[in-house]
Amino acid sequence: MKVAVFSTKYYEREYLNNYNKENRHQLTFFEMALNTQTVYLVTAFDAVCIQLTDIIDTAVIAKLSKSGIKLIALRSAGYDNVDIKAALKSKITIMRVPAYSPQAIAEHAVALILTLDRKTHKAYNRVRENNFSLQNLMGFNLDGKTIGVVGTGKIGAVFCKIMLGFGCKIIAFDLIESKVLIRKGVHYNTFDKLLENSDIISIHCPLTPKTRHLFNKKAFSKMKPGMMLINTSRGALINTSDAIIALKKRIIGYLGIDVYEGEEKIFFKDLSAAVIKDDLIERLMSFNNVLITPHQAFFTYEALSEIARITIENFSNFENDVHLENKIN
């Protein structure tokens, strides 16, 4: 099968080629994203393979259909960047990688918590300048703290287990409660109760029309002053403008994000010599209690291997017309 692979980085190409045994599929890599400006490149292909940074709206779907594209394969679990209804109407199959390494994402969320808490990033920079002062490096014990977990799917479940190991009390909110987590000591409650009682909140839910800006002015008003908010899921789950106000009011005492709602114009690029025109992320970076990482939670050897393996498997299953367990309906 001929596949146009968009938004690719050097490391992805290596892993995809390794799992594309005997060059079964003809992969053509493009560094640019797939959107209305680049969709002309898809002629003579059977499928496109994309990332979350690609914008597959109604206009792009129409052109993909006209070019004879039958499959859109995501190298991610999320798919909110694809107009699902338009794709299905055009009889284009959509597949994804539903779970590649829940541990990678959950462990990165914990890394953000520990870094913000114990300020190891600040200590590292100080010591490199021969400054061994402990001034303003005070942290707090995680043992005994109440952790709110929004979304207890595969990633959220792994995160819960890790934090239970720290001796934390876990309050969770999800439409579907996990009996396994309940047996381990996780307590489910309403979203409002979670906001009111959590010292730290970690977000592990998908982005949908209902969850977009779930964390907004109203939600922030119900939180404990000085709480910590962690997001390794999707940027638009947090209303950034409202979060900035909550930071200024010290409602949010610590903010750790690996995702950002305007990240498609910024993340995965070296902008060290450029002027960033996004005022919101510039404002976030001005706070000394905000930690931003560039969507790297997934970036482990194990996760990249699994993403590549499942992606190639999706191509083969579609080509052979076998059961498509990773198909989005």
Q: Provide the pLDDT for residue 22.
A: 86
Q: Provide the pLDDT for residue 209.
A: 92
Q: Provide the pLDDT for residue 268.
A: 82
Burial category of 210 from C-beta neighbours within 10 Å (exposed 0-12, middle 13-18, buried 19 and up): exposed
Residue type, 107: E
**φ, ψ for residue 246, nearest 5 deg:** -65, -35
Question: What is the CATH code for 102-292?
Answer: 3.40.50.720
Reported as type and span, the H/E element at residue 259 is none
Whole-angstrom Cα distance, residue 186 to residue 147?
Answer: 10
Note the pTM of the prediction, 2 decimals: 0.91
**Ranges of the chain whose pLDDT falls below 70:** none
Q: Provide the pLDDT for residue 113.
A: 98
Q: Provide the pLDDT for residue 309.
A: 96
Which residues are catalytic, by number? 234, 263, 295
Q: Provide the pLDDT for residue 217.
A: 98
Across the beta sheet with 169-173, the strand order is 187-188, 169-173, 146-150, 200-203, 227-231, 252-257, 290-292
Q: Provide the pLDDT for residue 185.
A: 97
Whether 132 and 126 have beta carbons less than 8 Å apart is answered as yes
Q: Provide the pLDDT for residue 121.
A: 97
Q: Give ranges for CATH 3.40.50.720 in the chain.
A: 2-100+301-320, 102-292
Say how many CA atoms lie within 13 Å of 115 toward its Cβ: 21
CATH T-level fold of 2-100+301-320? Rossmann fold (3.40.50)
Whole-angstrom Cα distance, residue 162 to residue 71?
Answer: 37
